[in-house]
């Protein structure tokens, strides 16, 4: 025993404790130094990737885990910075195109609110050098359900567009108008409005989201749902609208929370898992039933869903879709087809309730075109330009899809305007991310006078949306459901304004300006909308 103790004592004499601690500290310092050098080199390469264009230098990219979770502050952009800094960001750097380079997490990125740059990135000519990024925030979310028209590129996108495109014709838009009119009547009856002169709605979104999902379900999928019996998941445990809402609102959980945390017994995680499972089961059931129906009848309907399902049976491999592609497109149609329209309708109602003179002006046009004796018909759409203008101006103020992500798939060059001096050629290496800031475009005084002002008259004499209007994207990748959404919106708003005057529900002592600041304030997630809109609908005959 004494020999063993002596041996240990000899070791401590040879390697004293202090020396061991010093060695460990030295190793840690060396590792830290290597890490700092590596990070500095990485940061330098990131600056080179954006050609040292001035811009934000931040710890985390807004679309990275920590960058998305931490709120927008002076040192962290967060997910809301494009909205919160819209008035000052580009002006501060003196250019409509800036860079964002994180110190620690995320890729170097170019942000632009300049149409000349946008044309190069997503236009029919220059856009060929940029693809939609599957690694983007929205790309990761929607790809969980399967490849779809929203994220597809090149020949895959052309296949999806070729299959779905024929469904979106004037015949469909007439059906959309008729179903919107019918659903409006169902809403009035089922909500018990027929016997009421004043209806108080704590959050108008409760109506618009239900309406929009019913219309896309009926017209895009041929589902036989009604206001009294909306769509439910396969086992009936959850409304499809609720499952979609949970899926959209929980994108941070889906993307940034590790799987081993998601399995913990927390209510939120259970809710997200259940919504995902129920929604997937609903879509799979609908696909299986539609396949069986098409096989039994020997033909498919003209709705987009039937065309998707029929494509899975196509013997020509070039235009065949597998089940994951069908599910992916079903999800994007259900989600985008109701989420964006519902949010924009809610905000439009809020603006019209706020501005009495504007509401009256639009009401008078409805009376001159439609009158009180009949319902509006699809042929009235083109004459109701002021109703459409109110909706388009809301889309400008609060663009639901508020950014587009593109990635250079080869080394290329962007010509970035530099004011009166012309343009600077900016080398863009392969893999560089470029984000089209739709909020920045819609609030750019270069394209819109007094961009903060809600002014539908901008669109009164405009036959088609100008290039600066990017709420539905632009160019060859413009939203396939563009006319679907505007048709639904014009019909619903026409009926609502024809029957009711809208008034804001304000708190005690609150002014209209305070109501506007509280209610018509941006609410950002996967899409951009506003806070809950409380309004009263007052029957016209009693005004």
Classify residue 448 as left (phi > 0), alpha (psi -120 to 50) or beta: beta
Would you say residue 180 lies in a domain? yes
User: Quick count: other Cβ atoms within 10 Å of Cβ 541?
Assistant: 8
pLDDT of 33 higher than 60: yes
How far is residue 134's CA from residue 433's CA, in Å, rounded to a whole number? 11
Would you say residue 441 lies in a domain? no
Would you say residue 289 lies in a domain? yes
State both tokens at 453. 């002002």
How far apart are the two ends of the chain, measured CA to CA in Å? 104
Would you say residue 144 lies in a domain? yes
Which of the pair, 70 or 310, is modelled with greater confidence? Answer: 70
User: Quick count: other Cβ atoms within 10 Å of Cβ 201?
Assistant: 18
Helices 356-369 and 482-499, packing angle to 10 deg:
100
Residue closest to 396 by CA, chosen among 348, 360, 338:
348
* Distance, CA of 3 to chain centre: 75
The per-residue pLDDT for range 367-398, each reduced to its tens digit, is 999 998 999 999 999 999 999 999 999 999 99
CB 433 within 8 A of CB 99: no
Domain carrying residue 232 = 140-354+363-383+487-542
How far is residue 84's CA from residue 443's CA, in Å, rounded to a whole number? 12
Task: Tell me which DSSP letter residue 419 carries.
Answer: G
Which position has the token pair 């994180």? 102
**Lowest mean pLDDT: which of 224-233, 387-396, 445-454, 487-496?**
224-233
pLDDT of 12 higher than 50: no
pTM over 0.85: yes
Antiparallel, parallel or unpaired: β 97-105 and 55-60: parallel
State both tokens at 424. 């600077």
Antiparallel, parallel or unpaired: β 535-539 and 198-201: antiparallel
Beta bridge partners of 417: 423
Helices 323-354 and 482-499, packing angle to 10 deg:
40
What is the arithmetic mean of pLDDT over 484-500? Answer: 97
Q: Is 479 annotated as a binding residue?
A: yes
Would you say residue 161 lies in a domain? yes
Q: Going by C-beta distance under 8 Å and a sequence separation of 6 or more, which residues neighbour residue 237?
A: 274, 278
pLDDT more than 70, % of the chain: 90
How far is residue 241's CA from residue 221's CA, in Å, rounded to a whole number? 15
The backbone torsions φ and ψ at residue 412, rounded to the nearest 5 degrees and listed phi first, read -150, -175
Considering its fold, how many domains does the chain have in total?
Answer: 1
Would you say residue 271 lies in a domain? yes
Would you say residue 69 lies in a domain? no
- pLDDT score, position 251: 74
Task: Tell me which DSSP letter residue 504 carries.
Answer: E
Q: Going by C-beta distance under 8 Å and a sequence separation of 6 or more, which residues neighbour residue 486?
A: 388, 391, 392
Please, which pLDDT band fits residue 110 given cuts at 50, 70 and 90? very high
Residue closest to 245 by CA, chosen among 260, 233, 262, 256:
233
Go through the chain and tell me how many residues it has. 543
**CATH code, 271:** 1.10.630.10
How far is residue 194's CA from residue 189's CA, in Å, rounded to a whole number? 6
User: Quick count: other Cβ atoms within 10 Å of Cβ 465?
Assistant: 18
Would you say residue 415 lies in a domain? no
pLDDT of 272 higher than 80: yes
- pLDDT score, position 125: 46
The per-residue pLDDT for range 284-321, each reduced to its tens digit, is 998 998 888 888 887 777 788 888 888 877 656 567 88
What is the arithmetic mean of pLDDT over 318-329? Answer: 85
């Amino acid at each position: 025993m004494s020999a063993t103790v002596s041996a240990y004592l000899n070791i401590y004499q040879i390697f004293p404790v202090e020396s061991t601690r010093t060695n460990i500290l030295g190793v840690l310092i060396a590792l830290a130094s290597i890490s700092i050098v590596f990070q500095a080199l990485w940061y330098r390469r990131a600056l080179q990737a954006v050609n040292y264009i001035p811009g934000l230098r931040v710890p985390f990219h807004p679309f990275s885990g920590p960058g998305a979770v931490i709120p927008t502050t002076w040192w962290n952009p967060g997910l809301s910075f494009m909205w919160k800094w819209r008035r000052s960001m580009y002006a501060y750097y003196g250019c409509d195109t800036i860079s964002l380079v994180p110190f620690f997490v995320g890729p170097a990125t170019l942000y632009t609110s300049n149409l000349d740059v946008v044309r190069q990135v997503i236009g029919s000519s220059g856009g060929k050098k940029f693809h939609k990024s599957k690694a983007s925030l929205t790309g990761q979310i929607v790809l969980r359900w399967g490849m779809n028209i929203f994220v597809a590129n090149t020949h895959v996108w052309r296949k999806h567009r070729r299959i779905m495109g024929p469904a979106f014709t004037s015949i469909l838009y007439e059906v959309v108008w008729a179903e919107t009119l019918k659903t409006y009547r169902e809403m009035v009856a089922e909500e018990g409005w027929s016997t009421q002169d004043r209806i108080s709605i704590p959050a108008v979104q409760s109506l618009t989201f239900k309406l929009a999902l019913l219309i896309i379900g009926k017209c895009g999928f041929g589902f036989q749902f009604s206001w009294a019996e909306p769509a439910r998941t396969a086992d009936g445990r959850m409304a499809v609208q609720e499952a979609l809402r949970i899926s959209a609102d929980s994108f941070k959980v889906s993307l940034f929370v590790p799987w081993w945390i998601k399995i913990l017994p927390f209510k939120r995680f259970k809710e997200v898992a259940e919504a995902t499972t129920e929604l997937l089961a609903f879509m799979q059931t609908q696909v299986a039933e539609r396949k069986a129906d098409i096989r039994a009848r020997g033909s498919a309907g003209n709705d987009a869903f039937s065309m998707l399902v029929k494509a899975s049976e196509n013997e020509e491999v070039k235009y065949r879709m597998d089940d994951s592609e069908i599910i992916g497109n079903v999800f994007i149609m259900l989600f985008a087809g109701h989420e964006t329209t519902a949010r924009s309708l809610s905000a439009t109602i809020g603006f019209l309730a706020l501005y009495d003179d504007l509401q009256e002006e639009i009401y008078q046009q409805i009376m001159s075109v439609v009158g009180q004796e009949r319902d509006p018909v699809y042929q009235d759409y083109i004459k109701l330009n002021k109703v459409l203008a109110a909706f388009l101006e809301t889309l400008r103020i609060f663009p639901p899809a508020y950014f587009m992500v593109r990635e250079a798939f080869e080394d290329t060059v962007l010509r970035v305007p530099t004011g009166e001096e012309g343009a600077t050629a900016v080398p863009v290496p392969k893999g560089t991310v470029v984000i089209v800031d739709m909020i920045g475009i819609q609030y750019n005084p270069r394209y819109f006078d007094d961009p903060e002002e809600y002014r539908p008259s901008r669109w009164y004499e405009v036959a088609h949306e100008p290039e600066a209007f990017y709420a539905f994207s632009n160019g060859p990748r413009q939203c396939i459901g563009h006319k679907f959404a505007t048709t639904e919106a014009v019909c619903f708003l026409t009926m609502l304004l024809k029957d009711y005057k809208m008034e804001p529900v304000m708190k005690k002592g609150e002014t209209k300006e305070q109501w506007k600041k509280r209610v018509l304030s941006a609410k950002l997630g996967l899409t951009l909308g506003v806070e809950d809109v409380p309004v009263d609908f007052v029957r016209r005959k009693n005004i």
